[in-house]
Amino acid sequence: MLDWWLPENVSTYGREIDWLFQLIYAITGVTFILVTVALVAFLIVYRDRPGRRARYTHGNTTLEIVWTIVPALILVVLTALSAPAWSRIKMSMPPGDVVVEVTAKQFNWQVKYPNSDKVFLDEMHVPVNKVVHVHLKSQDVIHSFFVPQFRMKQDAVPGREIKQWFEVVKPGRYEWPCAELCGFGHSGMRGWIYVHSPEDYKKWAAENLTAEAKSTEAKPAETAKPAETAKPADQMTGGKAKK
Ligand SMILES: [Cu+2]
């Protein structure tokens, strides 16, 4: 249920997260409706009417204990239910097949693979059905690695390398926005993650991560000339050349 309003889940751990999300949403949704209905009902029932006098009340101790304990119990139950998912997804890493080094900066994702010097801007390529380890860093401010379909969101924090993982079960091209307001260009900070079939990934890696690709990439274009400086002589002849 409720699948129409979340992006498609393509992650191995997405079901677990969606289930918790929907449970919490159902609880808060029902609470919201009850509170709103009670509020409107009280507004009507206790509205001002001719001859009606206000009455002082110090409250109801039983009621207050109940509405303190019930939400507290709900939170304890939610914690107990989400702790296993948290520890499995966020606190431990299954053995990885691919490692990707991501360094966020204002306003790009810089992607590097351990066996290559090449830096990809705003694009990542990974194979389907493989555990991908992401080593996440930031070189300036806090950013947030977010791929809605992967059900993965992780802050990139300056001075730290944070390791996370995902495993995608469906090839495709997935939007990869920054989910932490990181400056003026934040809204334009996004990349794409390409999840390839094993054959396509092998092909891509052979074309982009090999030593040859590295060496052609490593050659910087040495053709740029220093900017021409203004000639003082010209200025002088054009200006005050008179005696
Ligand atoms: Cu950002």
76 CA to centre of ligand 1 in angstroms = 34
- Which residue type occupies 119? V
106 CA to centre of ligand 1 in angstroms = 6
**pLDDT reported for residue 211:** 60
146 CA to centre of ligand 1 in angstroms = 10
33 CA to centre of ligand 1 in angstroms = 36
Check pLDDT > 50 for residue 77. Answer: yes
Check pLDDT > 80 for residue 127. Answer: yes
**pLDDT reported for residue 229:** 42
198 CA to centre of ligand 1 in angstroms = 30
pTM of the model: 0.76
pLDDT digits (tens, 9 = 90+) for 176-215: 999 999 999 999 999 999 999 999 999 999 999 876 544 4
Degrees, nearest 5: CA angle 10-77-24:
45
- Tell the burial category of 237 from Cβ atoms under 10 Å away from its Cβ (0-12, 13-18, 19+): exposed
188 CA to centre of ligand 1 in angstroms = 9
75 CA to centre of ligand 1 in angstroms = 32
181 CA to centre of ligand 1 in angstroms = 6
- Which residue type occupies 25? Y
**pLDDT reported for residue 101:** 96
Q: Which residues neighbour ligand 1 (ion) by CB within 5 Å?
A: 143, 178, 182, 189
